[in-house]
Structure 1
Amino acid sequence: MSNETKKQIAKAAPNRWLVFCILTFSGGIAFKLSSMKDMFYVPMQEFMGLSNTQIGAALSVYGIVQTIGLIAGIYICDIISKKYMIGGSLIGIGVVGFYIATFPGYYGFLLAFGVLAILGEVTYWPVLLKAIRLLGDEKTQGRMFGFLEMGRGVVDVIVASSALAVFRAMGEGAAALRGGFIFLSVVTMVAGVLCLIFVPHDEKCVGEDGKEVNKAEAAFSGMMQALKSVDIWAVSLNGFVVYCIYCGLTYFIPFLNKIYMLPATAVGMYGIVNQYGLKMIGGPVGGFMSDKVHKSAAKHIRVGFVVCIVAMAVFLMIPHEALGQKGMWMLGAVCTLTFGAIVFTMRAVFFAPMDEVKVPREITGAAMSMASLIIYLPNTFAYVMYGNFLDRFPGMTGFRIVFSVMIGWAVVGVGVSTFLIRRIKKHQKNA
């Protein structure tokens, strides 16, 4: 990091935590409309006339547009200032929310989800990660990203609960569903306005001759630099493996239900803890362990892979079916949540090594877009793969295969993270 960059970070220190809080607030809100099914699945079917297939198709459109869009994002995320990209995207998401509140037809609904994917996953999320990285230095990256995850989890709970409260207060009818959508839209737009006010502009791109560089040219150069960078590929593949394991956490719910006979009333509670509770705990713990204990997010993730291998291997040796017949579901819940917590500490910081491998700050947008594309790629195949194992091999056999595959990913992860750590050491020697 140059002395000039260090001076700029130090100068921004008094208000960087305010900016960080606003960015975190926006991060917990930005995807609430695209995940409206989590809150309003049944009302959407009843009042919008959507079938299970149609809602699933909208989610598929979202995923397809996200994947294609992130390829373009490698180029566009460094062209426009992060202030406008983040703020404008959030306001745009709010506008789409108002459109959805009109209860458009099926094809209008598909179009809305396609636009939400562009605004949320392409022009917002990588730029948010870029902004978070630029707020700190190498020594604080783990905590920055860790607290981002924790803060998003807190906002997730508050906003989702508030939207449901609006829905109930308005009578749980069609008007109430519109009210819930409008509430989410307004809150998202408020976050966008706050970002437009408080998030700083990007630094000017200056060439070796001291003259300002054309942003389009700089962005194209940054895109090519990112695609050719072994370091960015290493960070991305490291996160990719973490995410493959993370996708497997979803199947702890049917595991507890079918093998441990988890009571129906406890399924919802377990899901909340698994989705939000672990995010709030894993974020700060992962950040602290990365910055203070292991002194490196990459090293923390490698330790996490090793712990995952050992923990899941021991877990597979437990006589689950016998314990399930005795009604000892609490034991199963504690074991799976503990494993999930380990994965969440890794997930919280898998973007943090960008600073450790000295990715130039001026191409952070391209780097984060490329990393997002690769890291979240398991969404396109992991759930289908795990689900297929469970369908083809019913009972405990299927779950053993799923858990064994998760161990396999962790073994691959140890190799990838070791390679990444070697790259980091190489940069440290050359610094």
Structure 2
Amino acid sequence: MKSLGKDKLIVFIILSATVALAYQLPYMKYTFYDQMMEALQINDTQMGVLGTCLTLVNTLCYPIGGFFADRFPMKKLICITLAAFALLTGLFAFTTNYIVLIGIHVLYGFFGIATLWSAYLSGIRSLGDEESQSAIFGSSESTRGILQTITSFLFLGIMNVAATPVLGFRFVMIAGAAITGLFLVLALIFLPAETAAEQEREKEEKIPLKEVLTNKGVWITIWVIMCSYVSWTLGNGYLTTYTVRVLGISSSLASTIGIVRSYVIVLAAGFIGGWILDKFTYKGKGFMVFLSVTVVTTLAVMCTSKVVPICIGLTLFLALMANIMKSTYWSIMGQAGIPLKMTAIATGVISFIAFIPDFIVPTICGIWLDAAIEAGNIASGFNKIFILLIAFSAVGIVGAALLVRQTKSHS
């Protein structure tokens, strides 16, 4: 990534931090599940309902986010997001009313997507030229990971010194609200009132939805992102439990490896992936390589389950490839033929369609694993998951090849 000037670097950090907080505070159960359940006085089913409310609203708000980002300045949307998250997180710290908790998660879902997601993507894209898009998106992903790692350790320290888990969770959420408030102040001071792209957009007619839906590059981008995202979901989300239930390692060792996968690999993937992809003249060729390596590595994982050290190493490499794709797939928009002025509304449409499998794939995988347990052969369930991963990666290679052809056609 070409060096950003001081002003752009500050904007880059604020945008990355906003998304980092928006994708951490509503998901505290992944770190403090039991403490959260005790503090809120709810059961597992109720916890699941909160997550469903959040995910459903997220998905419905992707098109709304594209509409907002196309019509309102980035600064206003980012500041609204940070203010909303600070208030909601502060309320979260002091309520156990389940209806209020549902309302908080619904609003988390709304402000996390409708006023943030497309504004963030547009803002990040506008910070770099076309040659540095992969690096800037990858660096943003890694920066988000660094910030989430720092706050996670801070929250863990707060939880450990608290007198009770209930107080610990409350103090953690108060700290989260305070950090969000700090970045709100920084956003008010340092984010530009309007970016150059927004000033240009104001002089032009608003882009109609029909123009987005008839843009060939939008659909190629959906194709590549959908396949890459599912490859990330399958190649990253089931590996820790695979190492326990199939490879037979201890839960504690698997958790340690999981931390490496969730933090170290994610941080490395953003920087490495962005640097590698920007070396390709055609980003589609880069994704053809990434997806092909994913197919080969997945097959290798399936064939080496009896050689545990090698198989564990392969699962870590598979996670690296999955996170490289996730951290850089938004950088393909320019080469797909999506103009900068269309970024806001296009990202809303792309996100809404490309992430639809998020509702379907986990359920299918859960059914396969439950059936495999009943049949007494859990490995067969994971093999089906790996075959699905290979299938999506293979389809993604076709989409990446179309991206190459699309890039050549308009270059």
- Which TM-score band applies after superposition, normalised by the shorter structure? over 0.9
Aligned twin of 1:4: none
Give the counterpart of 2:221 among 225, 229, 235. 235
Q: What TM-score, normalized to structure 2?
A: 0.93
**Deviations 1:71-97 (CA, angstroms, capped at 9, x unpaired):** 322322211100110121012111100
Structure 1 residues 177 and 14: alpha-carbon distance in aligned structure 2, compared to 1, 3 A threshold: closer
> Matched residues in 2 for 1:104 and 1:253: separation?
32
Aligned partner of 2:399 in structure 1 is 416
CA contact (8 A) 1:87 1:194 kept: no
* Cα distance in 1 for residues equivalent to 2:12 and 2:199: 23
The equivalences for 1:259-338 within 5 A come to: 259-292=246-279, 294-318=280-304, 320=305, 322-323=306-307, 328=308, 330-338=309-317
Larger mean CA deviation between 368-377 and 144-153 belongs to: 368-377
Q: Residues 203-242 of structure 1: matches in 2 within 5 Å?
A: 203=196, 204=198, 212=203, 218=206, 221-242=207-228
Paired residue type of 1:190: L
Whether the 8 Å contact between 1:389 and 1:401 is mirrored in structure 2 is yes
Aligned pairs, number? 402
Aligned: 1:390 with 2:369: yes
Q: 1:404 aligns with which of 380, 387, 407?
A: 387
> Per the alignment, do residues 16 and 242 of structure 1 end up closer, same or farther by CA in structure 2, a change over 3 Å counting?
same
CA contact (8 A) 1:296 1:353 kept: no
Aligned: 1:366 with 2:357:
no
Larger CA deviation: 331-340 vs 26-35: 26-35
Counterpart for residue 181 of structure 2: 189
CA contact (8 A) 2:41 2:96 kept: no
Asked if 1:340 is matched to 2:319, the reply is yes
Q: Percent identity?
A: 23
Change in Cα spacing, 1:176 to 1:312, as seen in structure 2 (3 Å) is: closer
Tell me the distance in 2 between the aligned counterparts of 1:206 and 1:20.
Answer: 20
Shift, 1:397, TM fit: 1.3
Deviating more after overlay: 405-414 vs 70-79: 70-79
1:280 and 1:364 map into 2 onto residues whose CA distance is 26
Q: Distance in 1 between matches of 2:8 and 2:224?
A: 28
AA at the equivalent of 2:291 = F
Q: Is the 8 A contact 1:74 1:369 kept in 2?
A: yes
Residue 374 (structure 1) shift: 2.6
Q: Is the 8 A contact 2:224 2:399 kept in 1?
A: yes
**1:192-246 superposed Cα distances (whole Å, 9 cap, x missing partner):** 2222322221445568xxx945xxx62xx34332222110121122011011111
Q: Which amino acid aligns with 1:417?
A: A
Alpha carbons of 1:14 and 1:164: their partners in 2 closer, same or farther (altered >3 Å)?
A: closer
Match of 1:78 among 70, 83, 92: 70
Shift in alpha-carbon separation, 1:379–1:174, aligned structure 2, 3 A: same
Contact 1:357 1:423 in 2 (8 A): yes
Partner-residue secondary structure (3-state), 1:27: helix
Q: Is the 8 A contact 2:124 2:136 kept in 1?
A: yes
Is 1:28 the counterpart of 2:20? The answer is: yes
Q: Whole-Å Cα distance in 1 between the matches of residues 11 and 362 of structure 2?
A: 35
Structure 2: gaps of 5 or more residues: none
Distance 1:421 1:107, change over 3 A: same
3-state SS of 1:351 partner: helix
Question: What SS class does the counterpart of residue 26 from structure 2 fall into?
Answer: coil
The farther-off stretch of 155-164 and 12-21 is: 12-21
Cα pair 1:32 1:184 within 8 Å, conserved:
no
Measured in 1, the distance between the counterparts of 2:410 and 2:158 equals 52
Measure, in 1, the Cα distance between the counterparts of 2:43 and 2:93.
17
Partner Cα separation in structure 1 for residue 103 and residue 110 of structure 2? 11
- Does the Cα contact within 8 Å between 1:239 and 1:375 map onto a contact in 2? yes
Contact 1:75 1:223 in 2 (8 A): no
Contact 1:137-1:355 at 8 Å conserved across structures: no
Q: Distance in 1 between matches of 2:283 and 2:50?
A: 35
Which deviations, in whole Å up to 9, do the C-alpha atoms of 1:150-199 show, x marking residues without a partner? 11111111011111212222323423321110101111121222223222
DSSP 3-state at the match of 1:415: helix
Are residues 69 and 151 of structure 1, via their aligned partners in 2, closer, same or farther at CA, if it must alter by over 3 Å?
Answer: same
Matched residue SS, 1:393: helix
Determine the C-alpha separation between the residues in 2 that align with 1:191 and 1:223.
33
RMSD: 1.9
Deviation at residue 382 of structure 1 after TM alignment:
1.3
Q: Aligned partners of 1:402 and 1:244: how far apart in 2?
A: 11
Unaligned runs of 5+ in 1: 1-9
Match of 1:64 among 56, 64, 71: 56
Partner Cα separation in structure 2 for residue 108 and residue 36 of structure 1 = 17
Deviations 1:32-79 (A, max 9, x none): 211111222111221211111111001101111111111322322211
The separation in 1 between residues aligned to 2:213 and 2:332, in whole angstroms, is: 17
CA distance in 2, matches of 1:40, 1:313: 34
Q: Judge conservation of contact 2:35–2:169 (CA < 8 Å) in 1.
A: yes
Deviation at 1:408, TM superposition (A): 0.7
Structure 2: distance between partners of 1:272 and 1:377: 27
1:355 equivalent among 313, 334, 340: 334
Contact 1:87 1:195 in 2 (8 A): yes
